[in-house]
Amino acid sequence: MSEHRKPAEEYVVIRHRRGYRLRRSLILLTFSILAAVLGYVTGMAQGGFRFSTAEESRDLLEEQVEDLREQNREASQQLVNLERGRTIDAQALNQTRRSIVDLETRIASLKADLTFYKNIMAPSETSKGLQVDRFTMQQGREDDTYGFKLVLTQIGDNKSYISGVVAVNVIGMRNEDKEVIALR
């Protein structure tokens, strides 16, 4: 009879050592107790264990929440103050700009008046004859209309009057073509 055995049915021989399990268990127990004692000593050396109750934790968290709320209130108030300050600064800046524009306009007007009167009162400093003192042009009420004002001054001997015709032409470009418009 031939025996055919399957590989799963193989046997393994292990040497039996007396007290091996007991020694292994005692070593594991000794290291476990040693680790526990060492952990306890280390914890005590660092200030001891601190067991806090849930109530103490809740009280601490409530204090922190109240502190954060107070900081939030202060930050919100500071934000409101900064926004108001920014608004006031913007208004002051606009008002200052308007004042500067008004003053510059007034200075230009006064300089023009001074030049006008200087030309009348001290004609010897400038050339004699008829001189253009001012020319202003403004858009009219309709889109294609403009109004203009021309001020001429007589320089020199004011005892005689000059009469004549003034021809004013506006020269410019329209659709890339040069154009001359006569103002009457």
- The domains of the chain are located at 126-184
Give the pLDDT confidence score for residue 8 in this predicted structure: 66
Q: What is the pLDDT of residue 53?
A: 72
* Closest to 115 in 3D by CA, of 134, 101, 102: 134
Rounded distance, CA 170 to CA 166, Å? 13
**Containing H/E element for 56?**
helix 54-121
Amino acid at 84: R
Whether the pTM exceeds 0.85: the reply is no
What is the pLDDT, as a whole number, of residue 38?
92
Closest CA to 117 of 101, 133, 100: 133
| Alpha carbon distances (Å) from 157 to 96, 150, 165, 178 | 45, 21, 20, 40
**What integer pLDDT is reported at residue 74 of this predicted model?**
96
pLDDT, residue 161, reads 72
**Model pLDDT, residue 32:** 95
Tell me the average confidence (pLDDT) per consecutive run of 10 residues in the chain, 184 residues long.
62 81 92 93 71 78 95 96 96 96 94 78 63 80 82 70 79 89 78
**Res 64: pLDDT:** 95
Q: What is the pLDDT of residue 141?
A: 86
Q: Where are the alpha helices (DSSP H) in 122-166?
A: none
State the CB neighbour count (10 A cutoff) for residue 155.
Answer: 19
152 contacts: CB under 8 Å, gap ≥ 6: 130, 131, 132, 133, 166
Question: How many Cα atoms occupy the beta-carbon half-sphere of 20 within 13 Å?
Answer: 5
The predicted pLDDT at position 41 comes to: 85
